[in-house]
A and B are shown apart, each in its own frame.
Chain A
Amino acid sequence: MSEIVLETKGLTKYFSKKAALESFDLKIPQGCICGFIGRNGAGKTTAIKLLLGFLEPTAGSSSVLGCNSMSLTPDIRQRIGYVTEGHRLFRGMTISQLEKFQKPFFEEKWDDKFFAEMIEYFDLSKKQKVKHLSNGQRAQVSLALALAPHPEILVMDDPTLGLDPAIRRQFLQGIIRLIMQQGRTVLFSSHILSDVERVSNRVVVLDKGRLRANCSIDKFRESVKKARFSFKGEVPAIIEIEGLMNYRILGKELEVVLVETSNEKIKEWANTAKAENYEIIPMNLEDQFIEFTEPKRRDKQFQWEAN
């Protein structure tokens, strides 16, 4: 078992009377590339800010590299790379000035050569001023700044928001390059699930401030599935299938969304319910996510953890 490098215990944050994050428990082992997904307002940014000690929790606690988030030492911070939402950088500075500003915080960990290489790779010049950069270029600079000290942990808050597909791909290449080095851990939130699918090996799903799923991406892909049954007569009034998360009825057809239900179990139910026919419908990650975060059956909220 790898060392746990990011951990939250009952982490809770209220803004006035509204819970942004509630009893959030998470353990991320070293080497994990974790896609952090959830709809707008699900609490992803809050969770990230709490983890990095930029917000104080209402209850519970969190730690990074074994150190409580509220008392992260400069030594620990040097081992963390952080890319903020919206890539906010000092507008009046040139890239070179940004580097000079950022570098001392990381001391000898800062890799001048690597930073220069990345700036060149992104087709930028260190003389360029931030205010003259496009959105995509600012994203590239902020990634270069975060990667230059070769962080052990890279936390990124929706880093590819608003970027064109080519720049997004370059960005992902940067992440892949980092994770090729042993023992790097990445936590990144995103709404672009095809990007999450490409680079991550784990997904954490947050919904309305609560953890809904935390498992390997393969497990998630395999486990959330849709099946459609057709009946000669009426659709049965009681739908009791193991792992049922959502269902829709359309005439004599029933569509169900299931979590961790084996194909044998689906077949069994089709027989018991006397379905005339049934099929299992393949889903992509985006469909799975939408089904997962929009269940109609509010009586049975799924919280799901697996390896």
Chain B
Amino acid sequence: MALWIQISAGSNEPLYAQLVNQISKAIAEGKLRPGDKLPAVRKLASELVINPNTVAKAYTYLEQAKLIVTKTGSGTYIADKNERSTDIAEVNYLNERIDNIITRAINLGLKPKDISEMYKSRLEKFSDKPGKSGEENE
């Protein structure tokens, strides 16, 4: 299952952040579902040929974001949806990011209507699968 992680050394994005982003995205898209097991740190590190600390750092980060849980002696799993929390700082950060994107869109000459259409169509990519798995948990 680790096959879909693509690490690109030498990019602007630090390696641990690449891991965090790809795993988070897979969770958001429903490719990874609650209860799915992630590979062990050492296994993933040797598959991707990166330092194990980098993988450990990414896992710690995801754990702090409550996207994954580590069960002692058993492994690391994708967390249940209801274990995730809404962090005000995270929401503020998202708002800032959205503002940046809107700024760029306006400067490109896009109309508010176009921008909200863009958001809608991107959202559709994510909407069905995670929603379903969320319901399964309840």
Contact = CB atoms under 8 A, between A and B. Distances in A.
Interface of A: 33, 169, 172-173, 176-177, 179-180, 193-195, 197-201, 218, 221-222, 282-286
Interface stretch (B6-14, B79-87, B122-130): B6-14
B10 A179 contact: no
Contact of B49 (A176, A200, A222, A282): A176
A300 to B, nearest CB: 26
A200 B9 contact: no
A interface majority secondary structure:
helix
B15 to A, nearest CB: 6
B46 interface: yes
Q: Which of A172, A180, A198, A222 has the most CB of B within 10 A?
A: A198
A221 B51 CA distance: 15
Nearest to A173: B49
Given A176-B51, A179-B52, A197 B10 contact: yes
A222 B14 CA distance: 8
B102 interface: no
B51 A194 contact: no
B46 A33 contact: no
Contacts, number: 51
A285 B10 contact: yes
A176 B14 CA distance: 18
Given A194-B10, A284-B12, A201 B42 contact: no
A282 B51 contact: no
Contact of A193 (B10, B15, B51, B54): B10
Nearest to A31: B53
Residue among A176, A177, A285, A286 with most chain B CB within 10 A: A176
Contact of B14 (A179, A193, A194, A218): A218
B66 interface: no
B59 interface: no
Contacts of B11: 284
27 contacts: A172-B49, A173-B46, A176-B45, A176-B49, A176-B52, A179-B51, A179-B52, A180-B42, A180-B45, A180-B46, A193-B10, A194-B9, A195-B9, A197-B10, A198-B7, A198-B15, A198-B51, A199-B49, A199-B51, A200-B51, A201-B54, A218-B16, A218-B57, A282-B13, A284-B10, A284-B12, A285-B10
